[in-house]
């Protein structure tokens, strides 16, 4: 990638940040459920989740389209390329920048530190591939996780709003589990196997492999929380009286 393309990519990331600033302002104008309005401390989290939901819908569908339109991203994970995939990476990089700043400027770093770590990992990986033009297929495959995040975010919004419909939560609970396997665990497992088997552990390959292994640990931790909370509540430890504000997406 030449300097001109890198500069254009930087501008695209900046434009994406501006888009999410605009989306947050739109979310701010939307009505909030009574359960959220009654707890001022939940206002930020509600708005943050709405913006996250918008990103998940857009990026998840975009990742599916990119892989359908450019199957070479799957057949050549290291050197495959598509303009759509590149734009998607810039778009999601802008979201991670916006969400990180949102967490920091609203003094939520302590309760959301895991997400700051995740965003730092994602941004560093995306910046490396924007600079080198390599491993775009891996990035797009990882962004399939946003399909799973759609239902994960709906889960949290339902919890926060106290929607009086157990059937709705139950239905989403099982859909969430299925898409968690299909769009989060499966792509992550495949990429981990691919990197450990085919990617040289040096330079960018070593950096991305380390990132991937750290992400494996985080995903398994989130999955264990999800299972305990929704399917094995008797296994929860120390969760009595914990407020929903204590976690961004998954609570024990």
Length of the chain: 252
Asked whether the beta carbons of 112 and 103 are under 8 A apart, the reply is yes
pLDDT at 2: 58
Per-residue pLDDT at 114: 92
Q: 3-class DSSP state for residue 165? A: coil
Q: How confident is the model at residue 234 (pLDDT cuts 50, 70, 90)?
A: confident
Q: What is the pLDDT of residue 243?
A: 44
Q: Would you state the pLDDT for residue 35? A: 85
C-alpha to C-alpha distance for 195 and 197, rounded to whole angstroms: 5
Rounded mean pLDDT, 243-248: 44
Q: Which of 148, 152, 153, 118 is nearest to 46 (CA)?
A: 153
pLDDT category of residue 190 using cuts at 50, 70 and 90? very high
Among 124, 104, 102, which Cα is nearest to 49's?
102
Share of the chain above pLDDT 90, in %: 75
- Enumerate long-range contacts of 96-101, CB under 8 Å, 24 or more apart: 96/122, 96/123, 96/126, 97/13, 97/16, 97/17, 97/123, 98/16, 98/17, 98/20, 98/21, 98/24, 98/51, 99/20, 99/48, 99/51, 99/52
Could you report the per-residue pLDDT of 115-170, keeping only the tens digit for each? 999 999 999 999 999 989 899 999 999 999 999 999 999 999 998 888 767 889 99
Phi, psi angles (nearest 5°) of residue 109? -60, -35
Q: Quick one: average pLDDT of 200-224?
A: 93
Given a cut of 80, whether residue 238 has pLDDT beyond it is no
Which residue would you say has higher pLDDT here, 249 or 33?
A: 33
Q: Retrieve residue 15's tokens.
A: 């434009």
pLDDT band at 108 (very low <50, low <70, confident <90, very high): very high
Distance CA 238, CA 236 (A): 7
187 touches 145 (CB < 8 A): yes
pLDDT greater at residue 20 or residue 2? 20
What pLDDT, on the 0 to 100 scale, is given for residue 42? 86
Residue 71 above 70 pLDDT? yes
Average pLDDT over residues 238-252: 43
Give the pLDDT confidence score for residue 89 in this predicted structure: 97
Q: How confident is the model at residue 37 (pLDDT cuts 50, 70, 90)?
A: confident
């Amino acid at each position: 990638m030449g300097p001109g393309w890198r500069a254009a990519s930087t501008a695209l990331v900046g434009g994406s940040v501006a888009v999410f600033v605009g989306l947050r302002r739109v979310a701010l104008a939307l009505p909030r459920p009574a359960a959220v309005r009654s707890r001022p401390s939940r206002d930020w989290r509600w708005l943050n989740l709405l913006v996250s939901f918008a990103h998940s819908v857009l990026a998840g569908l975009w990742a599916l389209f990119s892989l359908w339109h450019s199957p070479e991203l799957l057949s050549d994970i290291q050197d495959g390329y598509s303009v759509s995939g590149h734009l998607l990476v810039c778009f999601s990089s802008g979201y991670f920048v916006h969400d990180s700043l949102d967490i920091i400027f609203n003094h939520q770093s302590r309760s959301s530190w895991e997400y700051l770590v995740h965003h730092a990992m994602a941004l560093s990986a995306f910046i490396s591939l924007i600079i080198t033009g390599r491993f775009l297929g891996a990035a797009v495959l990882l962004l399939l996780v946003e399909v799973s995040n759609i239902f994960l975010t709906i889960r949290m919004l339902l919890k926060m709003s106290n929607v009086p419909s157990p059937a709705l939560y139950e239905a989403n609970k099982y859909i969430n589990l299925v898409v968690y396997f299909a769009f989060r665990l499966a792509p992550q497992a495949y990429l981990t196997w691919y990197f450990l088997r085919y990617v040289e552990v040096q330079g960018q390959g070593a950096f991305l492999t380390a990132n991937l292994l750290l992400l494996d640990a985080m995903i398994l931790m989130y999955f264990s929380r999800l299972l305990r909370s929704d399917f094995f509540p008797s296994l929860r430890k120390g969760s009595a009286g914990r407020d929903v504000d204590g976690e961004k997406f998954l609570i024990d």
